[in-house]
């Protein structure tokens, strides 16, 4: 969501008292490999690693350190350092490479890529206290996570960025379900625009998200494009959080992992 840019989201300044990530996100085995045809999604609570901050700082590059230093609030800076360290640690496993030596490239609109291995696609997202990381060799992937929270002007946001059918569906729902549908549509759209690398500056309203009976995003429709079949995978990594990945083609079973102390 755009509010992230203002650093105004709730974020825990101290290590959380309890792990909010659900039991369907187990710790990954140490020798986990990413096989062709698989999608792995990892969830992490960066604040759990605040005591290990120096270790994460030692993993990230000078440009990443410089970007971290530009955050206004120390808690956002430390989250950024840990998120980027986690990304490097997971990529290091899959690439069998020293995490601090991984070099990143950039797509046209700033989507990060692994410079030395164009077959490994990844994307990451964060909201509130959680971060989500998606990896696959199937093709460009996008991921988004949002903390489901009341958005006072959500109807204006929907009017601006949602399609007529999405708005009509939301009108029929109870207030709680409206917010769920809003965030399901938003995460699906953002995951798609992060898969293509265009980012949310382009065409949120050009993409129609299909929701199932539980208001989970399952697919998307791009008016005018009958050839490309996009699928959305939706997740609930913790209470009040919704996540989505987007990929061209059918999404196979997604492996869900939690980045926790044993992942270090």
In terms of Cα–Cα distance, which of 242, 156, 158 is closest to 205?
A: 158
Taking CB atoms, the residue at the shortest distance from ligand COA is: 199
Question: Is residue 144 a contact residue for ligand COA (CB under 6 A)?
Answer: yes
CB of 174 to ligand COA, least distance (A): 27
Q: To which residue do tokens 């539980």 refer?
A: 214
Rounded Cα gap, residues 106 and 246, in angstroms? 19
Question: Is residue 194 a contact residue for ligand COA (CB under 6 A)?
Answer: yes
Question: Is residue 16 a contact residue for ligand COA (CB under 6 A)?
Answer: no
Contact range with ligand COA by CB under 6 A, out of 26-34, 43-51, 154-162, 190-198: 190-198
The smaller minimum CB distance to ligand COA, of residues 35 and 70, is found at 70
Among 16, 112, 203, 252, binds ligand COA (CB under 6 A): 112
Among 199, 205, 222, 255, binds ligand COA (CB under 6 A): 199
Question: Is residue 126 a contact residue for ligand COA (CB under 6 A)?
Answer: yes
The smaller minimum CB distance to ligand COA, of residues 79 and 169, is found at 79
Question: Is residue 200 a contact residue for ligand COA (CB under 6 A)?
Answer: yes
Rounded Cα gap, residues 166 and 67, in angstroms? 37
Given CA atoms 166, 213, 235, 11 in this order, what sign does their dihedral have?
A: positive
- Which residues in the 65-94 window bind ligand COA by CB under 6 A? 80, 83
Tokens of 233: 């995978």
- Give pairs for 161-166: CB < 8 Å, separation 24+: 161/186, 161/189, 161/204, 161/205, 162/204, 162/205, 163/205, 163/207, 163/208, 165/208, 166/208, 166/209
- Whether the CB-CB separation of 237 and 25 falls below 8 Å is answered with yes
Among 42, 49, 93, 123, binds ligand COA (CB under 6 A): 123
In terms of Cα–Cα distance, which of 236, 246, 176 is closest to 23?
A: 236
- What does the binding site for ligand COA look like in residue numbers (CB under 6 A)? 1, 4-5, 80, 83, 109-112, 123-126, 142, 144, 190, 194, 197, 199-201
């Amino acid at each position: 969501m755009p509010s992230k840019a203002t650093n105004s989201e709730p974020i825990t300044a101290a290590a959380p008292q309890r792990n909010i990530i659900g039991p369907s996100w187990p710790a990954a085995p140490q020798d986990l490999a990413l096989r062709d045809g698989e999608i792995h999604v990892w969830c992490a609570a960066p604040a759990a690693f605040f005591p290990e901050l120096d270790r994460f700082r030692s993993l990230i590059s000078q440009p990443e350190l410089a970007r971290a230093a530009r955050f206004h609030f120390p808690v956002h800076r430390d989250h950024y350092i840990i998120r980027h360290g986690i990304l490097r640690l997971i990529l290091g496993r899959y690439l069998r490479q020293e995490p601090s030596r991984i070099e990143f490239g950039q797509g046209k609109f700033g989507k990060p890529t692994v410079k030395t291995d164009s077959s490994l696609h990844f994307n990451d997202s964060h909201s509130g206290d959680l971060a989500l990381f998606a990896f696959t060799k199937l093709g460009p992937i996008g991921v988004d996570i949002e903390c489901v929270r009341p958005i006072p002007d959500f109807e204006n946001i929907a009017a601006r960025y949602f399609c007529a059918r999405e708005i009509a569906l939301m009108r029929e729902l109870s207030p709680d379900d409206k917010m769920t549908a809003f965030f399901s549509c938003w995460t699906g759209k953002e995951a798609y625009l992060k898969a293509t690398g265009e980012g949310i500056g382009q065409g949120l309203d050009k993409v129609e998200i299909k929701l199932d009976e539980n208001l989970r995003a399952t697919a998307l429709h791009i008016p005018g494009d009958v050839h490309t079949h996009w699928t959305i995978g939706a997740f609930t990594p913790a209470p009040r959080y919704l996540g989505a990945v987007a990929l061209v083609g059918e999404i196979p079973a997604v492996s869900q992992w939690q980045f926790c102390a044993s992942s270090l």
